[in-house]
Structure 1
Amino acid sequence: MTIFSLLFLLLSNAVTFRREKSILYSKQTIIILLCSCFIALKNLNVSFLDKGIGLYGGLFHATPITQVFHIFIFFISATILLLTAFYPRKVWVKNYASFYALFVSKFSYDTNLINKMGQQFRIIEYPLIILFIIIGATFLVSASDIVSVFLSIELQSYGLYLLSTLYRNSELSTSAGLTYFLLGGLSSCFILLGTSLLYANSGTTNLDGYYVITCLSSIANEYTNNMLDWYKPFYLNISLLIMSVGFLFKISAAPFHFWSPDVYDAIPTIVTTFVAIIAKISILIFLLELIHYTSNFYFSFSFTWTYGLLFSSFLSLIIGTVLGLTQFRIKRLYAYSTISHLGFMLLALSINSLESIQAFIFYLMQYSVSNLNAFVILISIGSSLYPFVNNGNLKEQYNNLRDRNNSPIQLINQLKGYFYLNPVLALSLAITLFSFVGIPPLVGFFAKQMVLSAALDNGYVFLTLIAILTSVISAVYYLNVIKQIFFDKHEYILNKEFTDTTLHATIVPSIYNKVNTVNDVSFTVKDIVLSSSLAITISILTLILLLFIFISTPVLSMSRLLTLIMFNP
């Protein structure tokens, strides 16, 4: 794949203009990711047959869970790259919208309403940095040595720091990237301290060695006190607890969440989409295997390091819900929503039973898809409002929003009455938010029900009650957004420059068309619609959330199969 991507890049430099290079790079990166999906899918049979194989002397390992989530990360990343691989809006004239017209002629136009000069289409480094982040994420999912763990998390993190500050003309983006970098460096210190303590205590860097020592220490504590005099399991717990603090920083779980609302809100929405999803998937899957192999043992005392994750789950549920009630900026609301959902995922992780791990795998997948759909819809709404101006009481506030070119939708009030401008997009966003709440028969309901059922079966009654209460309370801020979209009146009017303007386009015959006539076509601003790439992506993701009850068997069977393989090595 490296050789192919290098050839693609060299060819693209030779055949395209500079203005279109970034778009071409994004399309090539999507092809690379889809090919990587095919390779991972082909190798899935090997990992299933052998229940996992070691790679590079034990630095990495390939198991069914790692391979499945490699494919998942590739698909999610390819979907996010669609936002920069195609323009968000297009001209749609009915007479020239057939497949035949598409192949025999070229529709040529020049208008600022398409926003072809947006900064996201001029940054050619964007796809390359995303590839580095994906490499770090896939390595972290497969890491089986504390050296490879630290290198993978840093490769992923440094790419995210660069991505956050990539928009050079944005002061907000630069300051948010610096904040992210400084606090990310602090979290890396915790990870490094935890890994150094693990090595100092055990003399090995391989995670398999810690799993073996864990089993031996449980036997030693059960039968005799002299079998492992040189080893104190308390050190292992403290080391893993310190290391988990660093990872909780990275995924912005409470009480280490304070950086994420500011960073999510300040960086461009396209970048927020990637930062909010991919980083969490890789770290949570790594924590899944670490928890599974180091928490199922007994000590002469009752403390285990996973109690720290339970405490973080409790705080995430409370903080993500309560602080989300006071937000009036949409991306800060998404950030607190993510913190609240992390509480559910950490609860399922900490329980570490057959039912809870199945619930965790399913919850992580469905929430990643729901979160992706929420951000894509937000970007699409911003693109659709490009020819409109606000003429209401908050006109000056909207016009004075900082960095509004990179993040058009920043305030929840900007969504007022959007249903009357674009009913389909508004309904898609409502379905996504209802899924976040957990309203049946949407996919979010089944995910929350599985986590709560696993928690009750294992005696976590108090945390289950907290999760139910916070889930009900969090519905308030989701429903407030839906109320403003559907029941308030919008204050948007079409820009006077475009009201009576007639735009012109040219139909140029392609080389396959024998007729060499050139036709001029006129169109209005109403003929400019959402691009096919965004429309198809939103349609598919929304239908997955809405019709999950009819396609639930394959997904639930896969998560159960992965869990059974994990519990029956």
Structure 2
Amino acid sequence: MLLISILSLLLSNAVTIRRDISILFNRVAIIALSYSILHSITTLFILGKGIGLHGGLLNITSTTQIFNIFIFLVSILILQLTSFFPRKVWIPEHSSLTQLLFNNLVFYRTKVINKMGEHLRIIEYPLILLFIISGAVFLISTSDLISVFLAIELQSYGLYLLSTIYRNSELSTTGGLMYFLLGGLSSCFILLGTSLLYANSGTTNLDAIYAITSISDSTDVWYKPYYINFAFLVFSIGFLFKVSAAPFHFWSPDVYDAIPTVVTTFVAIVAKISIFIFLLEIVYYTKNYFTDFNWTYGLLISSFLSMIVGTVVGLTQFRIKRLFAYSTITHVGFILLGLGISSIESTQAFLYYLMQYSISNLNAFFILIAIGFSLYCYINDNKEYKELLDRNNSPIQLISQLKGYFYINPTLALSLAITLFSFAGIPPLAGFFGKQMVLSAAIDSGYIFIVLVAITTSVIGAVYYINIIKEIFFFSPEYKINPLLENLKFNGNVYNNKNVLIKSINFKYNNIAISSPIAITISVITLIILLFMFVNKEWLSMSTILVQYLFNY
């Protein structure tokens, strides 16, 4: 389905000259991904160790299918940002269900609904997204070193293109070029690890390498255990680069901050899901090999450094997307802790943490974008804000721009506060349960020191989240209504289905609101984070069942 959709969009891109119909292409991509979800659901319950495809290049299991569905779902939500206009006109007396279904409100709307926004005029955007999703799906299911490299490069090249897709933005081009150069370096590590594994084992098939690592130590004559461990360590460094884990994190704050917020939303979430699920299987099958020094200790060291770097450096940030980048590094530390321990409890915690963090991160970026769109009617005389580079594509760049936002839009401000408290691990929000599960599994496995570090960094990290909340709720806003709009009356006409004029109406600036797809997505995710205690059974049960499949229970 993904490949057919990519070919169709390629053909459509080739023959169209109107860039403004990209909004329709985004909707086509949403339909394609929805069908992909249905297809994955029909093949969800694969018993045993899965089904090998294409001569063992891919291996399909229940875990891969669940996370395919999850990636498709997250991608659909992200595509909503470019599939609908960000603002709408909301007039209560003309907003009943009957009015919405049978009548049509027409008004001069180019600027009101942001019809000329650059993110709505990039035809290639959904096409590149489908390429990245294809790479992510292949990477999750891969079972051979050759298909690993092909999948990770298919995913990575799409992300490099996506980062530089805003051609007129100097910042975006700079960020994308940095991402490309350092991503190329990480690919070198993956290739080096691959070649070392092949040189020692004589096979590229991961199942064969797992078989070698599970044989007793009498195989020292043929296979050197430390050699394979070293090869896996080099191999994992390439992937730690790509998920921005410390000490290989230095590209991510600059890239997150430079590229437009709509693009950051995708780059920050989808790439990490696929890589972590791929690493899960490798860690599980090789964790007991060569117990003197196992390569998975490298993941624990990276986890330790990620928590410290993400927390300490995050405290000094005043740009909000850089802050989110350091926040991500801290959370990657927790995810790596669950992954590196590789017990039943830690793997369950790892699966849950990865899913809840992806959804919370998505919500944070959605709200950031919605705040930018909601300030259409307001002006700010602060000279610093007017001199920000690329402010059309990333309207909210500084934490101080959120000052007093609660008095402009209380609902969005509360949603952001709930998401940030979840990041900080405040009970009873979804983020608290993730941290509690990871730390509990680490204590059970005897990693007391790293648990103490994790708890300390969580407490310190809460400071920068609370700082954002302080700016939003405890200061007066610097924004004021644009004098040009304050007394201006917009004109509109209501037509019925037969295009007959029913009446003419006037509306004011306060009738302009965030469009329904964005508002509904933010509302639903915020409620899931807030009310997780009451809907936790399905989520936790699913991670338990996936772990039992993996651990043969």
TM category (shorter chain) comes to over 0.9
CA gap 1:453/1:159 in 2 versus in 1, 3 angstroms: same
1:152 Cα deviation from its structure 2 partner: 0.2
- 1:532 alignment partner, one of 494, 507, 516: 516
In 2, the alpha carbon distance for the partners of 1:257 and 1:6 equals 32
Match of 2:435 in 1: 448
What does residue 473 of structure 2 align with?
Answer: 486
CA 1:12–1:528: 2 relative to 1, 3 Å: farther
Q: Percent identity?
A: 63
Which moves more between the two structures, 79-88 or 98-107? Answer: 98-107
Give the structure 2 partner of residue 433 of structure 1.
420
**Is the Cα–Cα contact under 8 Å of residues 125 and 162 in structure 2 kept in the other structure?**
yes
Alpha-carbon distance in 1 for matches of 2:191, 2:85: 42
Q: Which residue number in structure 2 is paired with residue 78 of structure 1?
A: 76
1:266-320 deviation digits (Å, cap 9, x = unpaired): 0000000000000000001111111110112345xx1111111111001000000
> 1:134/1:233 Cα in 2 relative to 1: closer, same or farther (>3 Å)?
same
Q: Is 2:222 the partner of 1:230?
A: yes
Q: Which residue of 1 aligns with 2:236?
A: 244
- The 8 Å contact of residues 252 and 260 in structure 1, kept in 2 or not, is answered as yes
Q: Return the offset for 1:342.
A: 0.5
The residue aligned with 1:520 is 504
| Aligned twin of 1:370 | 360
1:395-447 Cα distance to aligned partner (Å, 9 max, x none):
10001110000000000000011000000000000000000000110011100
State the partner residue of 1:280. Answer: 272
Q: How far 1:497 moved relative to its partner?
A: 1.6
Name the residue aligned to 1:146. Answer: 145
> Deviations 1:152-206 (Å, cap 9, x if unpaired)?
0000000000000000110000010000000000000000000011111110000
Look up the match of 1:500.
487
Alignment pair present for 1:347 and 2:337: yes
Residue deviations 1:296-355 (CA, integer Å, cap 9, x gap): 2345xx111111111100100000000000000000000000000011010111101000
Provide the C-alpha distance between the structure 1 equivalents of 2:537 and 2:249, rounded to a whole number of angstroms: 35
Query: How far, CA to CA, are the matches of 1:99 and 1:183 in structure 2?
Result: 52
Measure the CA separation in 1 of the matches of 2:113 and 2:14: 26
CA distance in 1: counterparts of 2:262 and 2:163, whole angstroms = 10
- Unpaired segments of 5 or more residues in structure 1? none
Show the 5 A alignment for 1:78-477: 78-111=76-109, 112-216=111-215, 219=216, 221=217, 224=218, 227-299=219-291, 302-391=292-381, 395-477=382-464
Tell me, yes or no, if the aligned pair for 2:2 and 2:33 is still in contact at 8 Å: no
Aligned 8 A contact 2:19 2:122 in 1: no
**Is the contact made by 1:12 and 1:24 (CA closer than 8 Å) also made in structure 2?**
no
Contact 2:244 2:251 in 1 (8 A): yes
User: Residue 5 of structure 1: CA displacement?
Assistant: 3.2
Aligned residue for 1:326, secondary structure, equals coil
* 1:60 maps to which of 58, 61, 76: 58
Distance (whole Å) between structure 1 residues aligned to residue 91 and residue 527 of structure 2: 27
Structure 1 residues 360-381: Cα deviation after superposition (integer angstroms, max 9, x where no partner): 0000000000000000000000
Say whether 1:553 aligns with 2:498: no
Q: 5+ unaligned residues in a row in structure 2: which ranges?
A: none
Shift of 1:2: 5.2
Equivalent residue pairs, number = 552
Task: Go from structure 1 to structure 2 and tell me whether the alpha carbon gap of 1:15 and 1:503 turns closer, same or farther (over 3 Å shift).
Answer: farther
1:464 partner letter: V
1:31 aligned partner, one-letter code: I
Could you say what secondary structure the match of 1:108 adopts? Answer: strand
Give the TM-score normalised by the residue count of structure 2.
0.97
For residues 32 and 245 of structure 2, the distance between their equivalents in structure 1, rounded to whole angstroms, comes to 32
> Cα distance, 1:110 vs. partner?
1.5
- 1:562 corresponding residue in structure 2: 546
Kept in 1, the 8 Å contact 2:6–2:127? The answer is no
Give the 3-state SS of the residue equivalent to 1:44 in structure 2: coil
Give the drift of 1:94: 1.9
In 2, are the aligned partners of 1:12 and 1:21 still within 8 Å (CA)? no
What is the Cα deviation at residue 508 of structure 1? 2.6
| Distance verdict in 2 for CA 1:73–1:279, change over 3 Å | same
* Residue 114 of structure 1: how far off its partner (Å): 2.0
> How far has the Cα of 1:95 moved from its partner?
2.4
Runs of 4+ in 1 over 4 A off after TM superposition: 6-17
SS in 1 for 2:494: strand
Deviation digits for residues 527-567 of structure 1 (CA, Å, limit 9, x no counterpart): 00010001100010000000000011111111011001101
Distance across 2 between alignment mates of 1:454 and 1:214: 25
Give the superposition deviation at 1:6.
6.9
Q: How does 1:28-43 map to 2 (within 5 A)?
A: 28-43=28-43
Aligned mates of 1:74, 1:10 — CA distance in 2: 20
Q: How far, CA to CA, are the matches of 2:422 and 2:165 in structure 1?
A: 32
Decide whether the 8 Å contact of 2:379 with 2:479 is kept in 1.
yes
Are the structure 2 counterparts of residues 114 and 517 from structure 1 closer, same or farther at C-alpha, using a change threshold of 3 Å? closer
Amino acid at match of 2:317: Q
Q: Distance in 2 between matches of 1:91 and 1:488?
A: 29
Secondary structure of the 1:386 match is helix
In 2, the alpha carbon distance for the partners of 1:343 and 1:39 equals 34
- 1:520 Cα deviation after fit: 2.0
- Whole-Å separation in 2 of the counterparts to 1:204 and 1:326: 48
Structure 2 Cα separation of the partners of residues 463 and 230 of structure 1: 36
Q: What is the distance in 2 between the residues matched to 1:12 and 1:542?
A: 36
Distance 2:76 2:541 in 1: 25
RMSD: 1.8
TM-score of the pair, normalised by structure 1 = 0.94
